[in-house]
């Protein structure tokens, strides 16, 4: 069974006088353990699709199922709780909590999940070591490089033991070396924890690592390719 | 962790937070110091009135209070006094003979309250003997001694060794007069009192007005502590219940005798809290502004927190916590400094000697010793927290209106 199933997704923004159709009937299935990149030019609807898959936004039309749960049918409160328990996020601008250390940032999701202190501290350190910055556990985001911050963001996303991780342009602010290191690390996490990763990107280096590339243009899927890597 | 995040967020913009701390601290200092000043003023007025003028409790014949006719004496005054002296909280009891009279010198005349007192007993009840600035207080071995206030001495242009002529009606309603020798001049912080109160020996005055021995028209009682006045009044009411019931005597606390002072104390208290509320209300707008700025600057962060799964209740609580921390720090700093200022002026007094004549004219001392109740400090702190919670609501609601996807997208 697919972990994510999007059926006939349409999304129209009416924030200006002219309605903007960001998605025009997207159908997509993603299986457990995939390492998928959603690509396309700016304005093609990548971020909108990712927001809908991530439960941050709801489609104007169509249904989005996460296993057996139709996100359209969840209340705002249930949606927040669903995100907390089932979805991990990695953002382009890292979006760590600036006043918390790397370890505390990683623990944060587990605090919201009410994981006991000892268990979450142990897990946070384990994840920080896994993403290669265990030695920076007590550093605050301002004391870390962009690549290191993004590693903390990945550790934080993994901490909730999500069914899948949404990564919106995770390498956009990183230099080449950091990008390679981050992608290698994410690929390793994908293998190690069988975590599903879904990226939006127009970074070729990400595409080179992806096992599946879904291309969007004008809010429609124009190609969907799978690779053996 | 919410508390930790809220606390650390305070220090992200140190300058902005410090401005708010300072505003709250200055506001609190203003309110507390003003309360200390006003409470000090009213305290001194009340203490002075108790010590020099009315004492804690007075007993009269109720009919005497209507027109102050001296024929209405206190029945069994000596017996009553003996019983009162057995109460441990009582410091002193004095039987007085109080007459309205006209005082005259060769130069002028003035209406006065003439008090016939027993010097030894009166010393235990009134602190007037401590306010003698010339001569001595009344003594039993003096011949027709009188103690007058400095203000009256100036008005009548008389001094130590001079005679003061007093004219009054006796117990039969006949006008009578007599002369007393001025042996002492006193000065209190109440010019009006000094101008209108003359003290002589009770035995001398009793002879002059044909007054029976062993009685009087006023029993003054001084207690060890002003706070227990009402408790002792109740005790006396119980002790002399039959007499009180028959309206043979009436027992009154200083608050009943001087209702103006009591009203003034209540009014000052009311104004202190009103002033505090006005200051805090003004500060609330500064707090709201600061928190709104903080929320708007952190749109992306709140979007991220909600995206990750932080529910609205937690986001709301976090912002309220930040607001409360912000306010409490300012309030604690303000209260700390206020305590030091109040302690200083409580010990050394706040010198208003430049306006002493005006202050004395309305019955106040020109050196104000500050006093602030612990209740006022506590209430200030509670009000700060309440104001902070109210101020935090608008910024918190603004944060709750953010849509995570939009908040993150807009900022990115």
Write out residues 271-310 of B within 8 Å (CB-CB) of A.
Answer: 300-301, 304-310
The pLDDT of residue A28 is above 90: yes
Please report residues of B whose CB lies closer than 8 A to that of A159. Answer: none
Identify the DSSP state of B281: H
Identify the DSSP state of B211: P
Considering only the beta carbons, identify the residue of A100, A104, A112 that sits closest to B309.
A112
CA–CA separation, B338 and B273 (whole Å): 16
User: Measuring CA to CA, which residue among A31, A162, A83 is closest to residue B306?
Assistant: A83
Residues of chain B where predicted confidence (pLDDT) is lower than 70? 409-412
Please tell me the predicted confidence (pLDDT) of residue B409.
Answer: 66
Whether B408 sits inside 8 A of A77 (CB atoms) is no
Considering only the beta carbons, identify the residue of A80, A92, A98 that sits closest to B309.
A80
CA dihedral of residues B231, B234, B240, B244 (deg, nearest 10):
140
Structural domains in chain A?
4-226 (3.40.50.300)
DSSP string, B313-368: HHHHHHHHHHHHHHHHHHHHHHHHHHHHHHHHHHHH-EE-GGGHHHHHHTT--SEE
Half-sphere exposure at residue B97, Cβ-oriented, CA atoms within 13 angstroms: 27
Please tell me the predicted confidence (pLDDT) of residue B412.
Answer: 41
Identify the DSSP state of A99: T
The pLDDT of residue A1 is above 70: no
- Of the residues B308, B312, B404, B412, the best mutation for testing chain A's interface (the one with the most A CB atoms within 10 Å of its CB) is B308
Please tell me the predicted confidence (pLDDT) of residue B196.
Answer: 93
Residues making up chain B, counted from first to last: 412
Using one digit for the tens of pLDDT, what is the confidence trace for A35-57?
A: 999 999 988 999 899 999 999 99
Identify the DSSP state of A71: G
Please tell me the predicted confidence (pLDDT) of residue B406.
Answer: 81
pTM score, two decimals? 0.77
The token pair that represents A180 in the structure block: 């390679």
**Cα angle vertex A83, ends A79, A85, to 5°?**
115
Whether A80 sits inside 8 A of B311 (CB atoms) is yes
Please tell me the predicted confidence (pLDDT) of residue B190.
Answer: 87
Tell me, rounded to whole angstroms, the distance of Cα B346 from its chain centroid: 14
Q: What is the mean pLDDT of residues A83-106?
A: 91
Query: Which pLDDT band, with edges at 50, 70 and 90, does A15 fall under?
Result: confident
Query: Interface pTM (ipTM) of the complex?
Result: 0.88
Please tell me the predicted confidence (pLDDT) of residue B410.
Answer: 61
Considering only the beta carbons, identify the residue of B5, B311, B409 that sits closest to A100.
B5
Between the alpha carbon of residue B29 and those of residues B11, B21, B32, B85, the distances in Å are: 23, 12, 5, 45
Rounded to 5 degrees, φ, ψ at A62 are 100, 170
Size of interface A-B (CB pairs under 8 A): 68
């Amino acid at each position: 069974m697919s972990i994510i199933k999007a059926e006939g997704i349409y999304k129209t923004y009416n924030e200006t006088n002219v309605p903007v159709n960001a998605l025009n009937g997207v159908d997509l299935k993603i299986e457990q353990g995939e390492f998928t990149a959603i690509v396309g030019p700016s304005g093609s609807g990548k971020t909108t699709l990712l927001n809908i898959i991530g439960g941050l936004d709801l489609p104007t039309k169509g249904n989005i199922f996460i296993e057996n749960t139709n996100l359209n049918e969840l209340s705002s409160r249930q949606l927040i709780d669903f995100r907390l328990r089932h979805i991990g996020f990695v953002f382009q601008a890292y979006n760590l909590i600036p006043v918390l250390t790397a370890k505390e940032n990683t623990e944060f999701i587990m605090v919201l999940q009410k994981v006991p202190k000892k268990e979450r501290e142990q897990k946070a350190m384990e994840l920080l070591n896994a993403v290669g910055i265990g030695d920076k556990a007590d550093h605050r985001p301002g004391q870390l490089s962009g690549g290191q911050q993004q590693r903390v963001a990945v550790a934080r996303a993994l901490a909730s033991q999500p069914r899948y991780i949404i990564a919106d342009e995770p390498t956009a602010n990183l230099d080449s070396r950091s990008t390679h290191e981050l992608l290698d690390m994410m690929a390793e996490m994908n293998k190690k924890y069988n975590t599903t990763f879904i990226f939006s990107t127009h970074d070729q280096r990400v595409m080179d690592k992806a096992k599946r590339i879904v291309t969007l243009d004008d809010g429609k899927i124009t190609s969907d390719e799978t690779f053996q890597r | 962790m919410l508390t930790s995040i809220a606390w650390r967020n305070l220090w992200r913009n140190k300058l902005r937070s410090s401005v708010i701390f300072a505003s709250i601290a200055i506001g609190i200092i203003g309110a507390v110091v003003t309360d200390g000043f006003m409470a000090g003023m009213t305290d001194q007025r009340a203490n002075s009135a108790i010590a020099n003028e009315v004492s804690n409790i007075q007993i009269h014949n109720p009919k005497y209070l209507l027109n102050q006719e001296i024929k209405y004496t206190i029945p069994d005054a000596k017996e009553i006094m003996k019983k009162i002296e057995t109460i441990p909280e009582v410091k002193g009891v004095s039987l007085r003979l109080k007459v309205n009279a006209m005082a005259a010198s060769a130069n002028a005349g003035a209406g006065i309250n003439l008090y016939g007192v027993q010097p030894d007993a009166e010393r235990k009840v009134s602190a007037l003997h401590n306010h003698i600035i010339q001569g001595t207080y009344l003594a039993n071995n003096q011949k027709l001694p009188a103690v007058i206030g400095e203000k009256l001495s100036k008005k009548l242009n008389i001094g130590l060794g001079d005679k003061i002529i007093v004219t009054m009606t006796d117990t039969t309603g006949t006008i009578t007069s007599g002369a007393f020798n001025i042996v002492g001049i006193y000065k209190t912080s109440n010019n009006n009192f000094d101008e209108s109160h003359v003290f002589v020996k009770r035995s001398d005055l009793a002879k002059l007005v044909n007054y029976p021995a062993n009685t009087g028209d006023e029993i003054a009682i001084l207690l060890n502590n002003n706070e227990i006045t009402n408790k002792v009044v109740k005790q006396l009411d119980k002790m002399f219940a039959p007499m009180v019931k028959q309206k043979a005597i009436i027992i009154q606390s200083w608050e009943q005798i001087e209702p103006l002072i009591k009203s003034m104390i209540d009014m000052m208290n009311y104004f202190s809290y009103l002033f505090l509320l006005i200051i805090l209300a003004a500060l609330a707008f500064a707090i709201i502004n600061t928190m709104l700025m903080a929320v708007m600057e952190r749109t992306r962060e709140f979007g991220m927190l909600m995206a990750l799964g932080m529910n609205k209740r937690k986001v709301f609580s976090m912002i309220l916590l930040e607001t409360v921390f912000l306010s409490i720090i300012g309030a604690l700093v303000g209260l700390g400094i206020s305590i030091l200022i109040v302690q200083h002026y409580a010990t050394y007094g706040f010198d208003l000697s430049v306006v002493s004549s005006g202050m004395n004219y309305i019955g106040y001392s020109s050196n104000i010793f500050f006093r602030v109740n612990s209740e006022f400090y506590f209430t200030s702190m509670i009000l700060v927290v309440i104001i902070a919670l109210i101020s935090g609501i608008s910024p918190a609601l603004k944060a709750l209106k953010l849509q995570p996807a939009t908040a993150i997208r807009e900022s990115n």
